[in-house]
Amino acid sequence: MVASILVNGLVYSGVYAMLALGFGLVFGVGRVLNLAHTAFYMVAAYGIFYFASTGFGMPLAVVLTTLGIVAAGIAVYKLFIEPVREMEATVLIATLAVAVLLQELVLVFFGNEPRHVPPALSGFTQVVGVRVGNQEMVTLVVAALSLIGAWFLLSRTKLGLAIRAAAQDREVANLMGINVNQVTAIVMGLGLLLAALAGIAVAPLFTVEPGMWMNPLVIVLAAVVLGGLGSLKGSLIGAVILAFAEVSVVFLVPGGSYLRTAIALLIMVCVFFIRPEGLFGSSIAEER
Amino acid sequence: MYYGRYLLRYLQNEILVLPSRVIVLVFVASLVAFPLISQDPNLLRMLIVTALFSLYAVSWDLLSGYTGQISLGHALFFGSGAYASALLSSHLGLPPYATIPAGAAVATLAGLLVGIPCLRLRKHYLALATLAFPIMLTGLVLAFPGFSGGEGGIWRIARLTSTRIEEYYLIVGVMLVAVFALWKVAGSRVGLIFHSIREDETAARALGINTVRYKLFAFALSGFTAGVAGALYAHSSAARIVAPGVVLSLFMSFQPVIWTIFGGAATIYGPITGVFILYPLLDTLNVVIPKYRMLVFALLVLFILRFMPHGISTWIRDTIERVCPSCQVRNIATRRACRACGVELRHMQP
């Protein structure tokens, strides 16, 4: 029991952390609350399903899917989101419309029935006396590698410095000679890359269906605000907390699969009552 | 006789001079006269749901459009109104005229219960905290299936009226009266304070406005309106069933946001325009091309927002009318001089 909570909790943590990091970056730099973020994750899962079933090799399928997602996402951003970026409510609805559009496109091409993707590595391994599925290990490794890569990019490169500057203060970053619009587009691509990798990594573990973006969206939103909007460390920790809460409820409470999202959100609301700005948000309410 | 002439002069001087007022008049008249033209049950059903949803959308506009307290969990109010009246009706057998006020009262209470903790939260934090509430209520409903009907929902709720025409007039009448009342509230001092809270809450507080009280009032009023819509929905022939997958779903929470932003936020008439365009459209698409209906719907919303980011009714109003720069009175765009002060209107950009 404890072992399965631990393993599943870690897998979910990794996935939510990848999604929350991308979502948080896009919000921090572009001030865009991108409700379509997890819809791209869903499309990535379908992409890997499609390319795997047409008989491309796995590496080629992964490359094609991620490239496709990033290109499509940046095109959507440039066409529909950037022109109305200043109006928050309009952005909210536009991104929601994008999410519904993606879901419907998937429905038209693949139908409503749940799909399954064959695991990259089947079988089990004994880790300290616990049987862990190899695919779970692959997912965890992918999540860890992409998070480390994102951390390296953000903290050790010039581009990362520009991204962090733009997230901290868009106008001042612009005055310092950073092309903010370009940085926003790059961040959008980076967030989508993380979302696509997350979708690819979980496709063999979860059932792939057109509605699979809703639940992660709610959790990712909750994780990002739980950690404090604009704090990347906070959104990672928020993702881990919510993932473990969700998994524990499913395993420990009878009928817990109905309550999993409700409990995760209850935790978020409780944190809000104690710290209205989230765990790591800045307490000075600065308006931008 | 005198009143007749007065009414006629009022019509001529105050309504026929502005195309937007003519549109409202024609809209209300055609809504009232619709059953004379057609009594097709499907069309009436569609209009009943459209009227209910426009009340629901206006309630969102009042809270989020005016006061700026973005609520992404408005289905909580609609759903608690619907569930309260449905449960009272099926467990205690109360008639609709008792359960609907009870449903509205429960929704008002829900508005206050959500509003009080949310006073501490701002902007995106508030939006996402409210998003959580209907999902938590869904969890509760699913956890007690014996009492709440679980995932299948509540069936066989008492009908509002015996015929569909009566139901149509009842619901459209309630909608028109409620919207008119809310429009008056929004145009009054209270509405002005709501605007000021959205624009700059700190400044409003500095001016001596008790923003806490007004924000709670907005939550309660919005909850009440949505609760009335939800309770009527539960008893209407359009629903037949109250289930968490419908009245508490994420989509139900997002729908009023879509309608209001599409129509134009903080206007009262915007959400109604949005619902009366989008809901019949979705219903028609459902019949014509059921497979692609949401696809077409999403594309349409995306393109309208791309080119009219302030909403379609605001765009139309700014196109057909012009504000006089000197006395701020609205004029039809074709006029050369202002109807109130005679200032030249041509060669001016709005």
* Residue A166 belongs to a domain: yes
Q: Which residue in B130, B306, B307 has the most chain A C-beta atoms within 10 A of its own C-beta, making it the best mutation to test that interface?
A: B306
pTM: 0.83
pLDDT of residue B43: 87
* Residue A231 belongs to a domain: no
Query: CB contact, 8 Å: A97 with chain B?
Result: yes
User: Is B120 within 8 Å of A87 when comparing Cβ atoms?
Assistant: no
User: Is A218 within 8 Å of B250 when comparing Cβ atoms?
Assistant: yes
Domain residues for B45?
36-249
User: Is B122 within 8 Å of A276 when comparing Cβ atoms?
Assistant: yes
Q: How confident is the model at residue B56 (pLDDT cuts 50, 70, 90)?
A: very high
Q: How many other C-beta atoms lie within 10 A of the C-beta of residue B163?
A: 12
Interface confidence (ipTM) of the complex:
0.80
* Residue B282 belongs to a domain: no
* Residue B87 belongs to a domain: yes
* Residue B256 belongs to a domain: no
Query: CB contact, 8 Å: A267 with chain B?
Result: no
Residue B104 to residues B73, B84, B131, B227, Cα–Cα distance (Å): 17, 8, 20, 4
Query: Measured between beta carbons, which residues in chain B are less than 8 angstroms from residue A101?
Result: 295, 298-299, 302
Q: How far apart are the first and last CA of chain B?
A: 42
Q: Which of B64, B120, B295 is closest, CB to CB, to A276?
A: B120
**Identity of the residue numbered B259:** W
pLDDT of residue A256: 67
Q: Which residue in A225, A242, A274 has the most chain B C-beta atoms within 10 A of its own C-beta, making it the best mutation to test that interface?
A: A225
* Residue A139 belongs to a domain: yes
* Residue A84 belongs to a domain: yes
pLDDT of residue B217: 92
Query: Measured between beta carbons, which residues in chain B are less than 8 angstroms from residue A268?
Result: 128-129, 132
DSSP conformational letter for A127: E
pLDDT of residue A288: 38
Q: Which residue in B252, B292, B302 has the most chain A C-beta atoms within 10 A of its own C-beta, making it the best mutation to test that interface?
A: B302
More confident residue, B337 or A151: A151
pLDDT of residue A287: 42
pLDDT at A208 over 80: yes
* Residue B27 belongs to a domain: no
A·B CB contacts under 8 A: 120
* Residue B40 belongs to a domain: yes
- In whole numbers, what is the pLDDT of chain A averaged over residues? 84
Query: DSSP secondary structure string, B40-88?
Result: -HHHHHHHHHHHHHHHHHHHHIIIIIIS----S-THHHHHHHHHHHHHI
Q: Which of B120, B261, B310 is closest, CB to CB, to A93?
A: B261
Least confident of A25-39, B20-34, B113-127: B113-127
User: Is B261 within 8 Å of A276 when comparing Cβ atoms?
Assistant: no
Into how many domains does chain B fold?
A: 1
pLDDT of residue A285: 45
Query: DSSP secondary structure string, B171-188?
Result: HHHHHHHHHHHHHHHHHS
Query: CB contact, 8 Å: A284 with chain B?
Result: no
pLDDT at A273 over 80: no
Q: Which of A89, A218, A276 is closest, CB to CB, to B131?
A: A218
| Largest Cα span, chain B | 70
* Residue A42 belongs to a domain: yes
* Residue B41 belongs to a domain: yes
* Residue A189 belongs to a domain: yes
Query: Measured between beta carbons, which residues in chain B are less than 8 angstroms from residue A75?
Result: none
Three-state SS string over A29-70 comes to: HHCCCCCCHHHHHHHHHHHHHHHHHCCCCHHHHHHHHHHHHH
Query: CB contact, 8 Å: A64 with chain B?
Result: no
- In whole numbers, what is the pLDDT of chain B averaged over residues? 85
Q: Which of B122, B143, B298 is closest, CB to CB, to A104?
A: B298
Query: Measured between beta carbons, which residues in chain A are less than 8 angstroms from residue B124?
Result: 33, 225, 229
Q: Which H or E element spans position A124? A: strand A124-127
Q: How many other C-beta atoms lie within 10 A of the C-beta of residue A151?
A: 15
pLDDT of residue A129: 67
pLDDT of residue B106: 92
Query: CB contact, 8 Å: A101 with chain B?
Result: yes
Tokens of B267: 């206007």
Over the Cα atoms of chain B, what is R_g? 21
Query: Measured between beta carbons, which residues in chain A are less than 8 angstroms from residue B306?
Result: 79-80, 83-84, 94
Domain residues for A26?
17-211
Q: How confident is the model at residue B132 (pLDDT cuts 50, 70, 90)?
A: confident
User: Is B139 within 8 Å of A262 when comparing Cβ atoms?
Assistant: yes
Query: Measured between beta carbons, which residues in chain B are less than 8 angstroms from residue A277?
Result: 125
pLDDT of residue B346: 64
Q: Which residue in A101, A231, A257, A263 has the most chain B C-beta atoms within 10 A of its own C-beta, making it the best mutation to test that interface?
A: A101
Query: CB contact, 8 Å: A105 with chain B?
Result: yes
pLDDT of residue B222: 93
DSSP conformational letter for B321: E
| Residues B290/B241, Cβ–Cβ less than 8 Å | no
Query: Measured between beta carbons, which residues in chain B are less than 8 angstroms from residue A269?
Result: 117, 129, 132-133, 136
* Residue A284 belongs to a domain: no
User: Is B143 within 8 Å of A278 when comparing Cβ atoms?
Assistant: no
The pairing of strands B154-155 and A130-133 is unpaired
* Residue B238 belongs to a domain: yes
| Residues A58/B266, Cβ–Cβ less than 8 Å | no
For the stretch B281-293, pLDDT in tens is 888 888 888 888 8
* Residue A7 belongs to a domain: no
Into how many domains does chain A fold?
A: 1
For the stretch A72-123, pLDDT in tens is 999 999 888 888 888 877 888 889 889 989 998 998 888 888 888 777 767 7
* Residue B293 belongs to a domain: no
